[in-house]
């Protein structure tokens, strides 16, 4: 028992001696640690200032009011409607339709036909706060001629494809559904606060427009089909049912003609952010300075260890 106590005591003493020795090594190398910390601190300031400000605009959306007549007849005449190519479901999954459409490649492809956003997404270099304009990389995009000048590579052509634009946008775009309220929140981060807001506005407008055009076409085709079916059938009950569906489809067309926010309505519209969302320069400086301290200590201890060996 006494020998075990002596061994434990020696072990603890060795630990204390080793710790004291390490602290002495660190103290003796304090100049090197200070220099390393200072260099990392200066680098952290330079690095933090070199990162451009990013601004995030967001919007809260809700689904526009559904056509109640369409929902009411959906359960009664779904068989006839499906033959006509109509979707009379209640739209419970339309929130997911909104999210997936906004994230889709085809939607970005459609957006590019309405506005050339590719330079602001791919070739932007800086944002001039004074005159609120984007500065483009001259090696990628010539603003005077509005032409792409970047060299083509194996995976990228001189003019960016819609796939490349989609990939670049999705890195900074977010869309999610609140499970409690059902509201949809979308956001986009960009070097320009104005462009971040304008892109979300464009997304909302075009999503409403393509949904309106799609459902108008479906309603038109459905009405043509049902009118032909009325001429073929001799059953009064079936004729009456078809007339009810035709009436509902006419209401859908009227609704789409008079309402701008056909699918989604902005509860909280996109805005021009006044405060940057990133980077957190203070945190960057603190983290890099701490890394400098640890690197300096590791260097001093390592040098002492190798010099002994």
- The tens digit of pLDDT for each residue in 56-113 reads 999 999 998 654 434 444 444 444 445 444 454 444 478 899 999 999 999 999 999 9
- On the question of pLDDT at 224 being above 70, the answer is yes
**What domains are there in the chain, each with its CATH number?**
2-50+281-308 (no CATH), 55-268 (3.30.1890)
d(CA 119, CA 51): 20
- Spatial neighbors of 38 by CB under 8 A, at least 6 apart, are 292
Query: What separation in angstroms does the CA of 4 have from each of 13, 15, 16, 121?
Result: 14, 17, 18, 71
Comparing 245 with 256, which gets the higher pLDDT?
Answer: 245
The 10 Å Cβ neighbour count of residue 28 is 11
> 3-17, 28-42, 157-171: which has the minimum mean pLDDT?
3-17
- Please spell the DSSP secondary structure of the chain, one letter per residue: -HHHHHHHHHHHHHHHHHHHHHHHHHHHTHHHHHHHHHHHHHHHHHHHHHSPPBEEEEEEEEEPPP-HHHHHHHTTSHHHHHHTT---S--TTHHHHHHHHHHSHHHHHHHHHH---HIIIIIEEEEETTTTEEEE-TTTEETTTTEE-PPP-SS--SSPPHHHHHHHHHTSEEEEE-TTT--EEEEEEES-HHHHHHHHHHHHHHHHHHHHHHHHHHHHHHHHHHHHHHHH---HHHHHHHHHHHHHHHHHHHHHHH-SSSSEEEEE-----SS--B--HHHHHHHHHHHHHHHHHHHHHHHHHHHH-
pLDDT tens readout for residues 182-215:
899 999 999 999 999 999 999 999 999 998 888 8
Q: What average pLDDT score do residues 111-122 get?
A: 94
Task: Please give the pLDDT value at position 136.
Answer: 93
Comparing 100 with 179, which gets the higher pLDDT?
Answer: 100
pLDDT tens readout for residues 248-302:
766 766 666 666 778 899 999 999 999 998 888 899 999 999 999 999 989 888 8
Q: What average pLDDT score do residues 128-132 get?
A: 89
Task: Please give the pLDDT value at position 80.
Answer: 46
Percent of the chain exceeding pLDDT 90 equals: 44
Task: Please give the pLDDT value at position 19.
Answer: 76
Q: What average pLDDT score do residues 8-35 get?
A: 72
- Angle (CA) 101 105 106, round 5°: 70
Q: Which range scores top for mean pLDDT: 28-37, 75-84, 116-125? A: 116-125
Comparing 286 with 303, which gets the higher pLDDT?
Answer: 286
Q: Which range scores top for mean pLDDT: 22-31, 46-55, 97-106? A: 97-106
Considering the entire predicted model, what is its pTM? 0.75
Comparing 25 with 270, which gets the higher pLDDT?
Answer: 270
């Amino acid at each position: 028992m006494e020998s075990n106590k002596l061994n434990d005591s020696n072990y603890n003493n060795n630990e204390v001696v080793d710790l004291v020795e390490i602290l002495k090594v660190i103290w003796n190398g304090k100049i090197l640690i200070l220099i390393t910390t200072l260099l990392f601190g200066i680098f952290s300031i330079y690095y933090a200032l070199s990162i451009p400000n990013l601004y995030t605009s967001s919007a809260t959306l809700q689904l526009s009011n559904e056509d109640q007549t369409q929902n009411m007849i959906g359960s009664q005449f779904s068989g006839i409607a499906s033959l006509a190519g109509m979707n009379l479901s209640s739209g419970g999954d339309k929130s997911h339709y909104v999210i997936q459409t906004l994230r889709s490649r085809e939607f970005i492809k459609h957006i590019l036909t309405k506005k050339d956003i590719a330079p602001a997404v791919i070739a932007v270099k800086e944002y001039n706060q004074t005159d609120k304009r984007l500065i483009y990389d001259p090696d990628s995009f010539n603003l005077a001629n509005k032409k792409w000048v970047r060299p083509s590579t194996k995976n990228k052509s001189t003019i960016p494809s819609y796939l490349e634009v989609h990939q670049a946008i999705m890195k900074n775009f977010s869309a999610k559904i609140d499970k409690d309220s059902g509201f949809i929140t979308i956001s986009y981060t960009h070097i320009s606060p104005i462009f971040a807001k304008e892109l979300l506005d464009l997304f909302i407008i075009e999503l409403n427009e393509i949904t309106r055009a799609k459902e108008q076409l479906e309603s038109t085709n459905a009405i043509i089909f049902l009118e032909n079916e009325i001429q073929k059938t001799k059953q009064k009950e079936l004729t009456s049912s078809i007339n009810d569906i035709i009436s509902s489809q006419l209401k859908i067309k009227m609704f789409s003609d008079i309402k701008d926010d056909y699918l989604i309505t902005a509860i909280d519209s996109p805005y021009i952010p006044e405060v940057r969302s990133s980077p957190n320069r203070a945190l960057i400086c603190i983290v890099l300075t701490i890394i400098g301290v640890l690197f300096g200590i590791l260097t001093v201890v390592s040098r002492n260890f190798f010099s002994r060996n």
